[in-house]
Chain A
Amino acid sequence: MQDLTEPILELIRLTSTDLPPDVEAALRQALEQEAPGSAARSALEAILQNVEISRRNSTPICQDTGTPIFYVRYPQGWSTRQLRAQIEAAVVQATRKSYLRPNSVDSLSGRNTGDNLGGDYFPTVHFEEVEGDTLTIDLMLKGGGCENVGAQYSLPYSRAGEASFQAGRDLSGVRKVVLDAVHQAQGQGCAPGILGVAIGGDRGSAYFASKETLFRRLDEPNPNPELAALEQRLTEEANQLGIGPMGFGGKTTVLGTKITSLNRLPASYFVTISYMCWAYRRRRMIWRDGQARYE
C-alpha cells in the first residue's frame, strides 16, 4: 500500500491555513451588507485580513484547530488500519509544524498529550469503502467554541412560560428550534456561522450527520426542494435576529444552512444542530493514479 502521510500532511496544512473559496466569498458578500464604520463591518474586515495573512504565511486561520475529523472513502484493497496509522503520523507532524495546536486532553487527568493523538476518537476517522479506484479524504477542523453551542432538541418541544414556543414534529417545528439554537448561541460560536442540521436519527447518528452535511458547499442547493426552501428561509430569518458578526449586532448572523434528514424511530424526533464558526475549515484530498489533488 502507498504511504499517504505526506499528502495527508498537506491536506492538514491546507485545511488549517487556507479558507475554502466559497466561504471567503460569502464573508466578502457579508461585509458589503454591513454598514460602513459599524463594529460588524470592522470584525469582517479583520476576519478577511486574517484569512489573507494565514494563507500567505501558512499559519492557522484560528488557533483552535479543533478536533481533526477525517472522512475516508477508499476503494477495495486499502487497509484502514494502515490508513489510520498514516493519518495519525500526519497529525503528529502537522502539530510539530504548528499547523495544528496540541488539542487532545485526557478528560480524567487533564493532561494534554501534546501531539493531537489520544484514544480511538482523537483524531476522529470515519471509513467507508467505495466503488472505483479513487480514494478521497475529507478533513474538517471544527473548533470548540462553535462545538459548544451545538444543540439537540427532542420534539415536540416547548418551554414553560413561552406560549408561542411550541415546536411539533414537522418542518415548522424544526424551523423554530433551529432559530432558538441560533439565538442561544449569540456570538459565542464565532458568528457568522454555518448551520448543519440533521432531522431524525438517534442522538449519536444525528450529530454525526449534522457535521457531515457541512461538507456541502455554501452555493450547493439541497437536492430536496422542501429542504432547500427551509435552508434559505432559516438563513434569512436567522439574519433577522440581529446578532451579527461576533455578536456585535448586524445583518449577518449566519452565512448558510445545510439540512439533512435521517430515518428515525417512531418514538423519537430529534433536531440536531452543529454550529460551524465562520472559520469553516474543510478540504478534500483526491488520490488517484498515485497523485494527490486538493479541493
Chain B
Amino acid sequence: MRQISIPISDEVIRSLHAGEAVALSGVMVTGRDAVHKWMVDTFIRQTRTPEGDDMEVYRAIQPLLQGGVIYHCGPVVAGLDSKAYRFVAAGPTTSIREEPYQGEVMRHFNIKGVIGKGGMGASTLAACQEVPGVYLHAVGGAASLIAQTVTRVLGVYKLEFGVPEAMWVIEVKDFPAVVTMDAHGVSQHAAIEQQSRAALAELLAKP
C-alpha cells in the first residue's frame, strides 16, 4: 500500500491512478452536507452574508485545506463535555450529495483529496483533472477500524452544525483508502455504472 502524506503535491496527485490503495497520514478536515452548503453559499457563490464567526473560521480552515484533504464523515465523538475529544467511530458518508458543491469547493480551497464513499459524478471528476485532485474511497461502515487511524483531534469548527456536521480537524496515521477517481479523468464508479447497466438490460430482457 502506498504511503501518502498530507498536504499532497500536484506531482504526487498526478502519479496516483484509479484502483490504487493508499494509506494517508497527516492532518485532514471533516466536512459534509452543512459544511459544503455553507462554504458555497457564504464564500464561493456568496448568496449569503458571512455572520458570527464565519470569517474567522474561513481564515482558519484555508491553510488546512490548501493542498489538503476533506473527509465526508460525521463521526461519533467522545469527550464532548470535557472537550477532550476522541473519535470513536468515523467511517465515510455517501459523497454524491456533495456533487453540486464539490468541484467549486476543491477549486476555491485548492483541495487535493476528497475522501468519502459511493463515488462522485462528472463535475467532481472534471475538478479532479483541473485542480488536480483525487477522490479516495474509504470502506463504508468500517467506522471503528477507521477511527483507530485517527491519532488526535486537533480541534473543531462550526460545532453548532451538530456533531456529525461540524468540521473536525484530525491527525491521521495510515488512514486506508482506494483512489477511485483520478486526475486523469478515470472514474471507476462511471465504469461500474456502465457495466452494471448493460448487465441490467440483459436481465430485464428475460421473462
* Chain A residues packing against B (C-beta within 8 Å): 39, 42-43, 46-47, 49-50, 53-54, 57, 59-65, 98, 100-103, 105, 110-112, 114, 143-145, 148, 164-165, 172, 176, 179-180, 183, 186-188, 190, 237, 240-244, 246-249, 277-279
Contact = CB atoms under 8 A, between A and B. Distances in A.
Interface string B180-200: 100000001100110111011
Given A62-B89, A110-B161, 20 more contacts: A46-B142, A50-B143, A50-B145, A59-B89, A59-B143, A60-B76, A62-B141, A63-B76, A64-B91, A65-B76, A98-B77, A100-B76, A101-B164, A144-B93, A148-B97, A164-B205, A172-B207, A187-B118, A246-B118, A248-B188
21 contacts: A42-B178, A46-B145, A47-B139, A50-B146, A54-B144, A60-B89, A62-B140, A63-B76, A63-B164, A98-B78, A98-B89, A114-B162, A179-B203, A179-B204, A187-B192, A190-B140, A240-B199, A246-B117, A247-B118, A248-B180, A279-B141
Interface in B49-102: 73-78, 88-91, 93-94, 96-97
B74 A64 contact: yes
A179 B200 contact: yes
Contacts of B188: 248-249
Contacts of B165: 112
Nearest to B96: A188
- Chain B CB count within 10 A is highest, among A65, A237, A241, for A241
Given A101-B76, A240-B203, A53 B140 contact: no
A145 B74 contact: no
A278 B141 CA distance: 8
Contact of A186 (B144, B160, B192): B192
A14 B77 CA distance: 19
Interface residues of B, number: 54
B26 interface: no
B117 A190 contact: yes
A188 B118 contact: yes
* Dominant secondary structure at the A interface: loop
A230 to B, nearest CB: 13
B23 to A, nearest CB: 12
A255 to B, nearest CB: 13
Contacts of A172: 207
B33 to A, nearest CB: 10
Closest 3 CB pairs of A and B: A112-B162, A188-B118, A50-B145
Contacts of B147: 59, 63
B133 interface: no
A242 B76 contact: no
A172 B203 CA distance: 11
Contacts of B178: 39, 42, 248
- Chain A CB count within 10 A is highest, among B144, B160, B204, for B144
B163 A112 contact: yes
Contacts of A244: 192
Contacts of B142: 46-47, 49-50
Given A50-B145, A112-B162, A59 B137 contact: no
A100 B73 CA distance: 15
B202 to A, nearest CB: 8
A154 to B, nearest CB: 18
B207 A247 contact: no
Contacts of B200: 179-180, 183, 241
B148 to A, nearest CB: 7
Contacts of A148: 94, 97
Given A105-B162, A190-B117, A61 B143 contact: yes
Contact of A190 (B141, B148, B180): B141
A111 B117 CA distance: 25
Contacts of B40: none
A60 B144 contact: yes
A101 B203 contact: no
